[in-house]
Chain A
Amino acid sequence: MSNFFEKSDLSRNDAESIISDTLKKCDDGELYLENSKSESILLDDNKIKNSSYSSDLGFGFRAVSDEIVAYSHSNEISKNSLKQSSENLKSTLKSAKGIYNHEIPKSNKKYYENINPIEQKTLNEKIEILNKVNSYLRTKDSNVKQVTANFLGEQKSIEIIRSGGETLTDVRPLVRFNVTVMLEKNGRKETAVYGIGGRESYDSYLRQNNWKNVCDEALRIASVNLESKPAPAGEMKVVLGPGWPAILIHEAVGHGLEGDFNRKKTSAFHNLMGQKVASEGVTIIDDGTINNRRGSLTIDDEGTPTEKTVLIENGILKNFMQDRLNARLMKTRSTGSGRRENYRHIVLPRMRNTMMLNGNNTQEEMIKSVDKGIFAVSFGGGQVDITSGKFVFNCTEAYEIINGKIGSPIKGATLIGDGPSILKEVSMVGNDIMLDPGIGTCGKAGQGVPVGVAQPSILINKMTVGGTKL
């Protein structure tokens, strides 16, 4: 645990009195302190290209009055600096007449251990694995022309001090191991990426030479793509595989169910609460409480314990994801979804681990039922326009389906759909739910936060596939 006041001329008592004085006529607000340490070790082009370490320290001071947020942050934890921030906040909220809301629910549950993953493995051990990855892949397949592999590790300690001195803390480990491979055959090049990670030590993910499985999966996807033919263009049926393809759920409906867009009525879902927005049998939750998952949090960045929030239950819209500000203005409670990338950013309602739950169908049934369509197994990034509801994502492994059978692999193509209507087009939900391997980062308003997704296989009646073959 970091002691933020140890080497500062600012004592905890000083800080508490500045906080209470600044927030006395505000509805909400806090001082958020953060100390993060991170490392990146990168092998690329047969060499260790980069070994870097970063340490970041700072605070963000927030005052909220009605709908208005005033924010000020700095790297310098000192009396002067906090006072200056306080002046900035006060000058914005001159006419504040709120009543500070002291209610923060409490919980003793923790969803990850207090560890520093960077220190748990030496640099030499990490370099050794990266070198093994490189030679394993290059030996295994002579078409391998480029290998990139990296370790990313982080420990983030936070402390939240609220008006009146209430203090909440969390220490969050996060690791990620990624392998990218490029193959070249007969002048044609294809790449593929695979990775794993979460809020545990590197060794929890790498034990029993698990790094080989990561390499094999990257190699398998790239090899499939070497044989791919141009993707079709137009509307057709789409079967999605389990696991990571749930980023479709994240883009198509997840963002549209975040509290801020609905309070501002800029989400296509804002007037659909309690209504049918998905086929029967479709249940979607956002869960911050799964042990050691990338998107899990013990408390959110406002100090609220996270929870399992039901968003859509059997097709009916039940809840939005809320931080404290949007919850207060929409007269509901925070769902523990208030997150920020770091102390430089304000809190926004965000997703954690977004999941579609199991149904009764099998993947085999789905594929059999399709005359002409595609089977999408893996995706790169996605994006959504929450106002029009249109969303896209890019296939990185997909196959055509002809007359109920899986055919040739097809080239990477963008799929586009309409968020509010896509879930009504889901005609089968599989019984094979799978979590993603722990690699997702979600971007919103310039802030990236780690997230997870999960889903079973699903059949979507129609989506537009953005290929080149008419």
Chain B
Amino acid sequence: MIKDQEYLSGKASYCLDLAKKLGATDSSVIVGNSISETVNFRNQKLDESNRSDNLAINLTTYIGKKKSSISSSNLLKENLDTLIEKCIETTKNTPEDEFNSLPDKDLLAKEVKDLDLYDDTHIKNEAKIEYLTKLETSASNEKKIVNTESSFTQDKSNFILANSDGFSKGYKSSSFTASSVTVAKDDKSMERDYEYTSKCHLKDIKDAEELGKLAAEQTIRKLSPKKIGSEKISLIFDKRIAKGILSTFAGAISSSSISRGTSFLKDKINQKIFSDKINILDKPDILKGLGSRSFDSEGVKTNTLKLVEQGVLKHYLIDTYNGKKLNQKSNGRCGGTSNLYFENGNISHKDLLNSKSKCLYITETIGHGSNIVTGDYSVGATGFLIENGEFKHPINEITIAGNFKDMFQNIILADDLEFEYATNSPTMMIEGMVVAGK
């Protein structure tokens, strides 16, 4: 069983009290417990079972404008005492930083909203095995599938965030995740692909057979890929890749990148950085949303932000420290975005595919080729050649490159948004990117 609120807040107040006694002028603490149980299958047989029980404490102490922090998984009193003493000692010896402080009291969340983030269901390993058996039977149906690896994880967690200004709140959350990675083979090639589903509530996850079937189909259609020539061409990003571009955008508008001057979107507030059809929202109060929250990791209440309105950048993602540096109030985004998404475009997926006589449909990218300082983008990619709306053949060993400043202006979105992850995008087309191949 995960630790209850009473246990966690007991530990939290112990830390705050001792820190105060030892000379801290302010302090904040997060105490969390998570228990996760996973079963892995491989080729329709049990491969691994894994249970993990994690308890962790993170304490930050302030003496005036001096700050330091400790973290530990060892919550025995004796260890905590030593660590808190060490934390205070380090705080005293760390130089002052005028922007260090707890969040403004009037910005702190007054309530924990009921966002339906916790499902108490405990799915036994036998039931996980049953799900995975169905999944892998379905995934292995096709002869070309030569290896399957699937897993089912149940995560339960609980936490308390408390600070010396009297804030003390927390809540439970859960997630149920199933995934399947399949390998397909023909005489010319071997390819891998995957499908996965993750929800707060068990009853909302995808059907096992459907998941297995999708993973297998997506893998088989990648077989016998061809390399293509280098050219400038329009790219369609599958939803699972398009959301990554949205995440890069979020990184570039984080107040730490902005205040440090290390973002290509610095000084772009109220400027048009996307075409005027683009709207981007960050909505923290979606029921059962994978990114939903009542407050950020400093306790600041989070409201919905329309980050981009008709192509114009309206907000940065602001925490207390960087907010003070930028002379702005925190908007409850310490720790990043909540449920971030592009609003739907007004063209169907099918019409988007048909809109060019020739384009590439990208289903996977590899490498760490997003540079938020310069906006340069260059990654390895696999996908399909599309001609007049038809999938012609799979392609691989190419790179795709551009600069986000231009790419953002050239985004066209389909109308197929779904809330499958914490960050979501409809299918996306970007015109005029450079593909390097042969």
With a cutoff of 8 Å between Cβ atoms, the chain B residues found around residue A344 in the complex are 52, 54
Q: Which of B83, B97, B191 contacts A55 (CB 8 A)?
A: B83
- The answer on a CB contact under 8 Å between A392 and B69 is no
The distance from the CB of B192 to the nearest CB of chain A, in whole angstroms, is 4
A190 close to B95 (CB less than 8 A):
no
**From residue 376 to 426 of chain B, which have CB atoms closer than 8 A to chain A?**
376, 378-380, 382, 396-403
Q: Is the interface of B mostly helix, strand, loop or mixed?
A: strand
A465 and B72 contacting across the interface, CB-CB below 8 Å: no
Contact A92/B436 with A124-B93, A468-B402 known, Cβ cut-off 8 Å = no
The reply to whether A48 and B366 contact each other, CB–CB distance below 8 Å, is: no
| B49 adjacent to A233 (CB under 8 Å) | no
Q: How far is the CB of B146 from chain A (nearest CB, A)?
A: 7
Contacts of A328 in B (CB 8 A): none
Give bound CA distance, A154 to B211, whole Å. Answer: 42
B367 contacts across to A, CB distance below 8 A? 381-383, 392-394, 414, 416
- The chain B residue with its CB closest to the CB of A396 is B371
Q: How far is the CA of A182 from the CA of B83 in the complex (A)?
A: 35
- Contact (A464, B183) CB under 8 Å given A52-B70, A57-B73: no
* From B78, B146, B368, B435, residue with most partner A Cβ within 10 Å: B368
The answer on a CB contact under 8 Å between B73 and A383 is: no
Within the complex, what minimum Cβ distance (angstroms) separates A61 from chain B? 10
B186 within 8 A of partner (CB): no
In the assembly, what is the distance between CA of A299 and CA of B56, in Å?
28
Among residues 424 to 438 in chain B, which have CB atoms less than 8 Å away from a CB atom of chain A? 434-438
1/0 per residue, CB under 8 A from B, across A369-399: the answer is 0000000000011111101101111100000
* Contact status of A412 and B183, CB under 8 A, knowing A54-B70, A72-B52, A387-B190: no
What residues of chain B lie closer than 8 Å to A266, measured between beta carbons?
147, 183, 190, 192
- B68 adjacent to chain A (CB < 8 Å): yes
Residues on the A chain within 8 Å of B259, using CB: 45
A: contact size bracket = 35 or more
Bound: A413/B378 CA distance, A = 6
Indicate whether A191 sits within 8 Å of B183 (C-beta atoms), given known contacts A56-B72, A390-B396: no
How far, in angstroms, from A381 to B379 measured CA to CA in the complex? Answer: 11
Q: Which residue of A56, A189, A346 contacts B374 across the interface (Cβ within 8 Å)?
A: A189
A51 CB within 8 Å of chain B: yes
The stretch that binds B, out of A73-81, A276-284, A353-361, is A73-81
| CB proximity of A108 to chain B, nearest CB, Å | 32
Stretch from A63-71, A170-178, A196-204, A237-245 contacting the other chain? A63-71
Max count, chain A CB within 10 A of own CB: residue among B48, B55, B73, B149: B73
Given A74-B53, A390-B397, A416-B397, A182 and B261 touching (CB < 8 A)? yes
Contacts of B438 in A (CB 8 A): 234-235, 464
Q: Is A106 an interface residue (CB 8 A)?
A: no
Give the residue name and chain of the A residue nearest to B190 (CB): A387
- SS class, residues of chain A in contact with chain B: strand
B262 to chain A, nearest CB (A): 6
* Inter-chain contact A346/B50, CB cutoff 8 Å: yes
| Residue in chain A with minimal CB distance to B73 | A75
Do B74 and A56 have beta carbons less than 8 Å apart?
A: yes
Q: Would B48 and A70 count as touching, CB distance under 8 A?
A: yes
The reply to whether B371 and A85 contact each other, CB–CB distance below 8 Å, is: no
- In the complex the two chains form, is A412's CB within 8 Å of B371's CB? yes
Interface pair B46/A68, CB less than 8 Å apart: yes
B35, closest chain A residue (CB) = A74
Task: Assess whether B230 is in contact with A470, with CB atoms less than 8 Å apart.
Answer: yes
B378 and A69 contacting across the interface, CB-CB below 8 Å: no
Partner of A47, one of B97, B146, B398: B97
Task: Assess whether A268 is in contact with B71, with CB atoms less than 8 Å apart.
Answer: no
Across the interface, do B192 and A76 meet the contact criterion of CB distance under 8 Å?
Answer: no
B192 engages A48 (CB within 8 Å): no
A127 located at the interface, meaning its Cβ lies under 8 Å from any Cβ of chain B in the complex: yes
Partner of B397, one of A51, A73, A393, A464: A464
Q: What is the distance, in angstroms, from B134's C-beta to the closest C-beta of chain A?
A: 19
Task: Judge whether B378 and A56 touch: CB under 8 Å.
Answer: no
* B105 sits at the interface (CB 8 A): no
- CB contacts (< 8 Å) of A48 on chain B: these are 94-95, 97
How far is B364's CA from A383's CA once the two chains are assembled, in angstroms? 12
Could you tell me if A381 and B51 are in contact, using CB atoms closer than 8 angstroms? no
Residue of B nearest to A390 (CB): B397
A75 & B74 in contact (Cβ 8 Å cutoff): yes
Nearest CB on A from B54, distance (A): 7
Closest Cβ of chain B: how far from A166's Cβ, in Å?
A: 24
A145 in the interface (beta carbon within 8 A)? yes
Of the residues B50, B71, B91, B192, contact of A54 by C-beta under 8 Å:
B71
Quick one: CB contact mask for B256-276 with A, threshold 8 Å, 1 for yes?
000111101000000000000
Q: Is the CB of B47 within 8 A of A68?
A: yes
Contact A44 B260 (CB under 8 A): yes
Minimum Cβ distance to chain A for residue B292 (Å): 24
B37 closest partner in A (C-beta): A88
Of chain A, the residue at the smallest CB distance from B192 is A387
Q: Is there a chain B Cβ closer than 8 Å to A418's Cβ?
A: yes
Whether, in the assembled complex, A208 has its beta carbon less than 8 Å from a beta carbon of chain B, the answer is no
Are B399 and A72 in touch, CB under 8 angstroms? no
Write out the residue numbers on chain A whose beta carbons fall within 8 Å of the beta carbon of B362. none
Interface set, chain A 417-466, CB cutoff 8 A to B:
417-418, 464-466
B46, B52, B53, B366: which contacts A390 (Cβ < 8 A)? B366
The reply on B121 being an interface residue by CB < 8 A is no
**Per-residue contact bits, chain B 21-50, to A (CB 8 Å; 1 contact, 0 not):** 000000000000000000000100111111
A residues 144-193 near B (Cβ < 8 Å) are: 145-146, 182, 184, 188-191
Q: Would you call B376 and A383 a contact (CB within 8 A)?
A: no
The answer on a CB contact under 8 Å between A56 and B70 is: no
Q: Is A7 an interface residue (CB 8 A)?
A: yes
Inter-chain contacts of A49 with B (CB < 8 A)? 97
Q: A52-B69, A470-B232, A470-B434 are in contact. Are A381 and B74 (CB under 8 A)?
A: no
| Chain B residues, CB < 8 A from A384 | 366
Q: Roughly how many angstroms separate A286 CA and B72 CA in the complex, as a whole number?
A: 34
Is B399 a contact partner of A146 (Cβ separation < 8 A)? no
CB distance from B333 to the nearest CB of A (A): 18
A264 interface hit (Cβ, 8 Å): yes
Complex contacts, B230 vs chain A, CB 8 Å: 233-234, 470
Q: How far is the CA of A385 from the CA of B225 in the complex (A)?
A: 14
Asked if B110 lies at the interface with its beta carbon under 8 angstroms from chain A, I say: no
Are B78 and A7 in contact, with the CB atoms below 8 A? Answer: yes
Residues of A within 8 A of B379 (CB): 392, 414, 466
Nearest neighbor of B402 in chain A, beta-carbon distance: A468
Q: Is A189's CB under 8 angstroms from B373's CB?
A: yes
**Which of A67, A191, A412 meets B47, CB within 8 Å?**
A67
Q: Which A residues touch B402, using CB under 8 A?
A: 468
| A124 to B344 alpha-carbon distance, docked (Å) | 54
A414/B378 in contact, CB under 8 A: yes
Shortest beta-carbon contacts, A-B, top 5: A466-B399, A233-B436, A392-B380, A392-B367, A387-B192
20 contacts between A and B (CB under 8 A): A45-B259, A50-B69, A51-B67, A55-B79, A70-B48, A74-B53, A75-B75, A189-B262, A191-B373, A235-B438, A264-B149, A265-B146, A266-B190, A388-B396, A392-B366, A394-B368, A465-B399, A466-B400, A466-B436, A470-B434
Extra contacts, 15 of them, besides A55-B70, A81-B53 (Cβ < 8 A), are A7-B78, A45-B260, A52-B70, A53-B71, A55-B79, A55-B83, A67-B42, A71-B51, A75-B55, A191-B373, A235-B438, A382-B367, A383-B366, A394-B368, A413-B399
Where the two chains meet, the residues of A that have a C-beta atom closer than 8 Å to any C-beta of B are 7, 44-45, 47-58, 67-76, 81, 85, 88, 91-92, 123-124, 127, 145-146, 182, 184, 188-191, 231, 233-235, 264-266, 268, 344, 346, 380-385, 387-388, 390-394, 411-418, 464-470
